[in-house]
């Protein structure tokens, strides 16, 4: 499945794989030949075949987090193309126990190789026309990140269409996840498409308005309508990140 975007290089193909029905996203190939794979979680042969129909190389394997259903095919892709693997360092303890994690669910999973590069909040990843920024959004796992492009974000297991990621696994925390979603994801423009680790894609506006875990945690900017996060901002002066309308008193009296 593919979805529209203003940047053709970021037109994602989605493969839903494995027992957990996890979404693996393929970006590219871009005009300069770059292809990026996000969260190859299972069914390595299927992912490799899909890639081989369009490209002879991949530029990177990007991981939103290290849970077994998002990394189960990393070893096979790395062996086939020797592409660098990117992961946030806070998820290394989970990543290093992939085999054991799989066994807990009755899955036989190959241990993925050590990441080549550790992601940090604010990193910019550029692979030709594929240009993504990294936002650290813990709560589902300690090192969970989202990858943000021109008008869409790959959000892993932070927020889904109508739900959020579970927080009862190692390193999870409900309030940390909620705060991160509101401040780092719902702060994106309302029309931004969100591509989650499970299920179909959604938008910032839809989740801010209708997600039962998130509705009511933001207020629309009274000028441009973009979601604001007054509960987190508190009574602090600020401005809308989209239209720059000032809010001198935060959530005390401005919204």
pLDDT tens per residue across all 255 residues of the chain: 545 555 666 679 999 999 999 999 999 987 778 999 999 999 999 999 999 998 989 999 999 999 999 999 999 999 999 999 999 999 999 999 999 999 999 999 999 999 999 999 999 999 999 999 999 999 999 999 999 999 999 999 999 999 999 999 999 999 999 999 999 999 999 999 999 999 999 999 999 999 999 988 876 676 776 666 544 444 445 666 667 667 655 544 444
153, 188 contact by CB (below 8 A): yes
Question: What is the pTM (predicted TM-score) of this model?
Answer: 0.86
Looking only at the bridges linking them, the beta strands covering 159-160 and 193-196 are: unpaired
Tell me: the pLDDT tens digits for 71-92?
999 999 999 999 999 999 999 9
Q: Where are the alpha helices (DSSP H) in the chain?
A: 44-52, 68-71, 74-81, 92-95, 98-104, 174-180, 204-210, 230-233
* Among candidate residues 126, 101, 89, the one with its CA nearest the CA of residue 42: 101
- From CA 75, how far away is CA 68, in angstroms rounded? 12
Q: Enumerate the CATH 3.60.15.10 domain ranges in the chain, comma separated.
A: 8-217
Tell me: the pLDDT tens digits for 54-71?
898 999 999 999 999 999
pLDDT on residue 248: 59
pLDDT on residue 238: 65
- From CA 90, how far away is CA 27, in angstroms rounded? 25
pLDDT on residue 2: 47
Fold of 8-217: Metallo-beta-lactamase; Chain A (3.60.15)
Q: Which string of b and e fits 47-75 if b means at least 16 CB within 10 Å?
A: bbebbeeebeebbbbbbbbbbbbbbbbbb
- From CA 61, how far away is CA 116, in angstroms rounded? 10
């Amino acid at each position: 499945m593919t979805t529209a975007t203003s940047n053709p290089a970021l037109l994602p193909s989605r493969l839903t794989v494995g027992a957990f029905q996890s979404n693996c996203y393929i970006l590219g190939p871009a005009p300069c030949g770059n292809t990026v794979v996000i969260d190859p979680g299972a069914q390595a042969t299927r992912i490799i075949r899909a890639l081989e129909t369009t490209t002879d190389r991949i530029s990177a394997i990007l991981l939103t987090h290290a849970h077994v259903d998002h990394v189960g095919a990393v070893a096979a892709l790395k062996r086939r193309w020797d592409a660098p693997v990117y992961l946030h360092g806070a998820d290394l303890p989970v990543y290093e126990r992939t085999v054991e994690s799989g066994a807990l669910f009755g899955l036989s999973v190959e241990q993925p190789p050590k990441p080549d590069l550790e992601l940090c909040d604010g990193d910019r990843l550029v692979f030709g026309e594929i240009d993504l920024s990294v936002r650290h959004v813990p709560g589902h796992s300690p090192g969970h990140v989202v990858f943000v492009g021109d008008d869409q974000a790959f959000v892993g297991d932070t927020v889904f269409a109508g739900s959020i990621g579970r927080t009862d696994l190692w390193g999870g925390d409900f309030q940390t996840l909620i705060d991160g979603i509101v401040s780092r994801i719902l702060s994106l423009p309302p029309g931004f498409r969100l591509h989650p680790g499970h299920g179909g894609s959604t938008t910032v506006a839809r989740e801010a308005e209708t997600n039962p875990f998130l509705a009511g945690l933001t207020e629309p900017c009274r000028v441009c309508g973009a979601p604001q996060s007054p509960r987190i901002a508190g009574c602090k002066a600020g401005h809308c990140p989209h239209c720059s309308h000032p809010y001198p008193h935060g959530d005390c009296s401005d919204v």
